[in-house]
Amino acid sequence: MLFFTLAFSSCNQVRLDNNEAEELIKKTLELPKSYSYCVGWGQNASMWGAASKLDALQNDGLITWQDEPNGWEERILYLEPTEKGKPFLIRKNGNEYTFKIHDIDFDQINGISIDKNSQTATVRFTLKSTNVTPIARSLSSGGFIKYSLDNLLNGELIFKKFDNGWQLQSDQNNTSNEIVNKLLK
């Protein structure tokens, strides 16, 4: 009888250790994530305000650029990454240049709070920027990247225990990109 009582009580325990929580966070947020930034003008980058971003990159020796009129209200962008900027160019599409800026990766678990009645776990954690490129530093110092590349990002997610394991609570059901982007704002 004692054996069945112990076996039954151990099956109903709601536990989540730091290692398991770390794996849940990494899987849920699909970490590490690579981030890029588009400069120039076109579908993904507006011509308005582009010059100040391009100037910041040029002043830091990452690109050279100029533009010239091409008929009525149309301009041609001449942009060339320098030797210092070339390793971070991901792609060029017309007048749009996409550069790698950094990765976001898991840092640590700060705390886990278990609610046995609702069988949920609130997990507090931090993320960090890694592989920060000179492109990111330049854009950040110019005020074009609005979050800190050096400070940790605090996050909190709630997981619910199911028979097949822990799952993100449904009221937080955003994509991994949406969740991380909220933390970056």
35-53 pLDDT tens trace? 999 998 776 665 666 788 9
Helix and strand totals (H; E) in the chain: 5, 8
Domain residue extents for the chain: 15-184
Q: What is the pLDDT of residue 41?
A: 79
d(Cα 169, Cα 159) in Å, to the nearest integer?
5
Q: What is the pLDDT of residue 73?
A: 64
d(Cα 119, Cα 130) in Å, to the nearest integer?
34
Residue with token string 């898991």 = 106
Across 3-29, average pLDDT: 75
Q: What is the pLDDT of residue 47?
A: 62
Which has the higher per-residue pLDDT, 1 or 79? 79
Q: What is the pLDDT of residue 7?
A: 45
Task: Please give the model's pTM, rounded to 2 decimal places.
Answer: 0.82
Q: Is residue 85 within 8 Å of residue 39, measured between CB atoms?
A: no
- Helices 134-141 and 50-59 pack at an angle, to 10 degrees, of 120
d(Cα 129, Cα 73) in Å, to the nearest integer?
39
131-161 pLDDT tens trace? 999 999 999 999 999 999 999 999 999 999 9
Which has the higher per-residue pLDDT, 28 or 185? 28
Q: What is the DSSP letter of 60?
A: T
- In this model, does residue 120 exceed pLDDT 80? yes
- In this model, does residue 6 exceed pLDDT 70? no
62-117 pLDDT tens trace? 999 888 777 666 677 788 999 999 999 999 988 889 999 999 999 999 999 999 99
